[in-house]
Amino acid sequence: MRVQFRAIVWSAGLTGVLLLAVTLSAGVGPVDIAPITVTYVLIGAIDSMIGLGVTVTQIPSSIQQTIVLSVRLPRIILAALVGFALASAGTVMQGFFRNPMADPSIIGVSSGAAVGAVATIVIPLQIPFGLELQAAAFTTAVITAFSVYVIATRGGQTPTSTLLLAGVAVQAFLGAVISFLLLYSGESIQRVVYWLMGNLGGTTWGDVRVAAIVVPPVFVLLVAYARDLNVLLLGERDAHALGINVTRTKRILLAAASIVTAAAVAVTGVIGFVGLIVPHAMRLIVGPDHRILLPTSALAGASFLVITDTFARSGTTAIPVGIITAALGAPFFLYLLRTNEVTQL
């Protein structure tokens, strides 16, 4: 009960932080909009959808409503979903590998998505609904994750160290494939490089729906296995002794983390450090219990990416958010290493 109470309290607080970040971010841009006006726009939009019957004292102009609901909010919601996904996957990967330096790309998911996306840009494909790039990136990311798992499995066993080495080798191979595709990218090279940097520009509600279909249900599955992930930290032998089906649990955790990462990378490109820094920082704050760590890391990751993307688009020239996360994440992690604050799992 105590653990559940702590999880609820922390999650409620971080949800409040996320809502505040979304509201403030929606007001930032070439046309500044006051937070109270943004609040009225959001209340009006929610009221029109579910009929709350709420009356606001100030009615925003149609231009303000269009800017918030059609231009800024899709990008902000997608940033929250992607940060949520990457941080939750990073939390699982760090627990899975019992290594605080693990992140969602450690088994090649991001590289796999990059191959699919770059191939689609260089060799245009046509599929229904105009989701060629997202579909290709998601598919190749999932295929890569399962390929790494199959390569690392011998005699029904999948040693964590072997899985890690297989991921490194597959990433190197996929990096060569991406380089080869870049040689023949021609005029599309700028789009390819922009995607590889991690970009939220040009987001539509269609992109949000793609991520929203995958991320929340898979996250629920991850939370359901939070206790099992705690037990795995003791080692596979102890986990067996405590009644955990280690092989099945590892497969489910790996598949779920790979799918949620693939969904995020497919719509935004490669955004680094969110799945590395956020779970590690939250572990220092709330402790290693994944029943608390998983939801808090996910919510903190959502807020983190919303805030960093706000800075990325608030200048005179918008830049890919992946540059901001790398610029913030690398020094922060070096600081943790320097001050010996890297926790051991």
Residues lower than pLDDT 70 in the chain: 1, 51-58, 125-131, 156, 336-337, 339-345
Domain coverage including residue 109: 78-338
Would you say residue 104 lies in a domain?
yes
Maximum CA extent, the chain: 68
Q: Is 203 helix (H, G, I), strand (E, B) or coil?
A: coil
Q: Is residue 171 part of a domain?
A: yes
**CATH for 122:** 1.10.3470.10
pLDDT of residue 123: 82
Domain presence at residue 277: yes
Whether 1 is in a domain gets the answer: no
Domains in the chain: how many in total?
Answer: 1
pLDDT tens digits for 314-326? 877 788 999 999 8
Cβ(276)–Cβ(329) below 8 Å: yes
Q: Which residues contact 9 (CB under 8 A, 6 or more apart)?
A: none
In a domain, 68, yes or no: no
Residue 54 is predicted with a pLDDT of: 64
What are 204-210's contacts with CB under 8 Å, separation 24+?
A: 204/74, 205/74, 206/129, 206/130, 206/131, 207/74, 207/78, 207/134, 207/267, 208/74, 208/77, 208/78, 208/81, 210/131, 210/134, 210/263, 210/266, 210/267
59-68: burial string, b at 16+ Cβ within 10 Å, e else = ebeeebbebb
pTM confidence score? 0.91
Alpha-helical (H) ranges within the chain are 2-26, 35-50, 62-66, 73-96, 109-122, 132-152, 160-183, 189-196, 205-224, 226-232, 236-241, 246-268, 274-286, 290-314, 321-338
- Structure tokens, 24: 């403030």
Helix 109-122 vs helix 246-268: crossing angle, to nearest 10: 40
Answer yes or no: is 44 within a domain. Answer: no
Q: Tokens 């979903």: give the residue.
A: 81
- Asked whether residue 126 is assigned to any structural domain, the reply reads yes
Task: Name the nearest CA neighbour of 142 among 104, 173, 99, 177.
Answer: 104
Residue 15: inside a domain, yes or no? Answer: no
Tokens 């955790």, residue?
253
